[in-house]
Amino acid sequence: MPEDNIDHLDFEALKAQAISKPLVTHIYTADPSAHVFNGKIYIYPSHDIDAGDAFDDLGSHFAMEDYHVISMNTPQSEAIDCGLALHVNDVPWASKQMWAPDAAEKDGTYYLFFPAKDQEGIFRIGVATSQSPEGPFVPQAEAIKESFSIDPAVFKDDDGSYYMYFGGIWGGQLQRWRTNAFINEQPESPFAFLPGDNEPALCAKVARLTDDLLQLAEVPKDLVIVDENGQPLLQGDKDRRFFEASWMHKHNGKYYFSYSTGDTHYICYAIGNDPYGPFTYAGRILEPVVGWTSHHSICAFNNRWYLFYHDSILSKGVTHLRSIKVTELVHDENGKIQLIHPYKK
């Protein structure tokens, strides 16, 4: 239900049909990255504010400037705002647009990974640390070396290795790194430098992190999603190809890479045998929500799986004023994820 249909929506009816309610209503939150730390759920969302910027395809209206951490004792319990965790003014290298973050824990230290534009308008990924999952977080003085684009998602594998998955096209600038250096031509066009529809789609990136989780341990690799015949998805396959919102979880020994298709508004997933892939497209997880974006995370709690996501019903469809939600996610006996409809038929 993207924004071009907003004028025709009955928000009271959709509110009644929604399978879940906003977890918090005193602020607008989006892009929820959920983790279980110390037996509790901690959600690391972006914080939507109305900065008055006009809608454009570069996402300039998403002018988020800080992060709040949300905690829950269980997926059914009250969600608590733990307060301000990090503000862009406290990040020496960042200028604006604190977009979708993620978090990880190692040896009692908590790490907040976040994208922001640097002083030259280029998206980089930074990291901040805390001794508490609630924050506040203290940022590193510089962004992660050789980092670029948006939507970091950090996955800890069973052997203790940590991997960062990241990237987003259009306003996320991934297409501007096709030559391994930032292309600053046609800066107002989100469509410049995209592959042709018959070319392989742009890929999310993956890189193992250093032991201290503060840097990339290797040059990022393409995370290739292939079809049922083992061929890479094409850029013109907009219902299936990667756009943004990387996430990784592991179930019964298989790696599940999930992501948003962006302008077609689906959350999809692909399955692989290795954290680097390749990943075979397996289907959709979530049908379109109210609002332009769709961004999620998947988290296990007490042996049940949950999908954290957002929509714009609370703001009556305002694209950049979203609210995080949660619903149960089910893997069937074959490992396929059952499709979730955000609004009851």
Q: In what order do the strands lie in the sheet with 66-72?
A: 28-37, 40-48, 66-72, 80-87
Measured distance CA(168)–CA(178) in Å, rounded: 13
Residue labelled with tokens 């059952």: 338
Measured distance CA(239)–CA(262) in Å, rounded: 9
Sign of CA dihedral 126, 132, 134, 135: negative
Q: Which two tokens stand for residue 240?
A: 């299936």
Please say whether the beta carbons of 216 and 164 come within 8 A.
Answer: yes
Measured distance CA(13)–CA(185) in Å, rounded: 45
Alpha-carbon dihedral 41, 44, 45, 51, rounded to 10 degrees: 140
Measured distance CA(157)–CA(255) in Å, rounded: 10
Measured distance CA(166)–CA(225) in Å, rounded: 14
Q: Which two tokens stand for residue 13?
A: 């009816």
Enumerate the β-bridge partners of residue 251.
254
- Strand, helix or coil for residue 39: coil
Measured distance CA(142)–CA(126) in Å, rounded: 7
Q: List active site positions.
A: 31, 244
Helix H or strand E encompassing 11:
helix 11-17
Look up residue 174 and give its amino acid: L
